[in-house]
Amino acid sequence: MLTHAQVWAAIDRLAARAGLSASGLARRAGLDPTTFNKSKRVTAGGRARWPSTESIAKALAATGTPFDVFAELIARPDGAGGPRSVPLIGFAQAGAGRHFDGGGLPAGEGWGRVAFPALDDEHAYALEVSGQSMEPTYREGDVIVVSPSAPIRRGDRVVVRTRTGEVMVKELARRTPKSIELKSLSPTHPDRALAAADVLWIARVLWASQ
C-alpha cells in the first residue's frame, strides 16, 4: 500500500533527478510554484494532503519521466538502485552509420536517452522498435533494453550484428563455437543460421516496454 510519505518522497526524488527543487519542478510542470512545497503536504489541521494525479501527471510529462520509473522512485525510498538513463536509438538506425563500436557498445552521435530502473551494466542501451518484423513479440514503438555484458543462454532474446552490418533481434536457439542458430520472433520471418565467424557481436535483451 502506498503511503503519504512515500509519494511525496518520490516527488522530491523526481525533482532531484531533473536538477530541480520541489518548487522548480512545479514551475516546469506549469503548476503553482508552491504545489509541491513541504508546507502544502499537511493541512493547517494536521491532516495529510496528497498530491493530485493531475499534478503528478504534469510533473512526469515536464521531466519526460515514464510512470513506471516514478513507481520505482516510490518503491525505493532510499534511492538505492534507482532509475538512471541509458542511450536510446531507433532500431532502424542501429544498422546504419557508426552507432556501435567493434564490441557492440554504443558509440558516436545520434543517441538519445531514456530512463530505466536499476541496471548493473553501465554499457546498457535501448532500441526503439520500428516496423512489424518482430510482431507479435515486439510492436512498433516498443523500447527494448539491451545489455552487452549479460550472460546469454539458450532461449534468451538477443540482438545480433553481423559483419556485413545487419542488425536483428531473435531468440537464441543454439550456439556452438562454429555457428549460431536464431529463432525468429515473427512467424512471417524465417529462422536464421549464421556462421560464428560472420557475427560481430551478440547481446542479450533484458527488458521491453510493452
What CATH code is carried by the domain that includes residue 163? 2.10.109.10
What three-state secondary structure class fits 92? helix
Can you read off the three cell numbers belonging to residue 207? Answer: 527488458
Per-residue pLDDT, 181:
97
pLDDT, residue 80, reads 47
Give the rounded percent of residues in the chain with a pLDDT score beyond 70.
89
Spatial CA neighbour of 55 closest among 36, 76, 70, 41: 36
CA atoms within 13 A on the CB side of 4: 9
99 plus 197 within the same structural domain: yes
Q: Domain of 44?
A: 4-75
- On whether both 100 and 171 belong to a single domain, the answer is yes
Question: What pLDDT does residue 118 have?
Answer: 53
Domain boundary (55, 75, 95) is at 75
Could you read off the pLDDT of 61-102 as tens digits, one per residue?
A: 998 888 878 887 887 645 444 556 677 877 777 766 677 777
User: What's the pLDDT at 113?
Assistant: 72
* Cβ atoms of 169 and 144 closer than 8 Å: yes
Residues 91 and 194 placed together within one structural domain of the fold = yes
Q: Is the pLDDT of residue 175 over 90?
A: yes
Determine the pLDDT at residue 1: 59
Query: Looking at the predicted structure, is the pLDDT value of residue 141 above 80?
Result: yes
pLDDT of 184 strictly over 50:
yes
The 10 Å Cβ neighbour count of residue 30 is 12
Confidence of residue 165 (pLDDT cuts 50, 70, 90): confident
Shared domain for 107 and 192, answered yes or no, is yes
Is the omega angle on the peptide bond into residue 106 within 30 degrees of 0, that is, cis? no
Domain count, the chain: 2
Asked which of 50, 75, 100 is the last residue of a domain, the reply is 75
- Same domain? For 195 and 106 the reply is yes
Tell me the one-letter amino acid at 198.
Answer: D
Give one DSSP letter per residue of 57-84, joined into a string. Answer: HHHHHHHT--HHHHHHHHH-TT-TT--E
Average the pLDDT over 103-120 and give the result: 70
Least confident of 50-54, 121-125, 154-158, 168-172: 121-125
What is the pLDDT, as a whole number, of residue 206? 84
Are 67 and 90 in the same domain? no
Mean pLDDT of 29-37: 92
100 and 183 in a single domain? The answer is yes
Q: CB atoms < 10 A from the CB of 41, how many?
A: 17
Q: How far apart are CA 165 and CA 167, in angstroms?
A: 6
64 and 88 housed in the same domain: no
Q: Assess whether pLDDT exceeds 80 at residue 119.
A: no
DSSP character for 16?
A: H
Of 57, 75, 93, at which residue does a domain stop?
75
Q: What is the mean pLDDT of residues 197-202?
A: 94
Nine-digit cell string for 71: 513507481
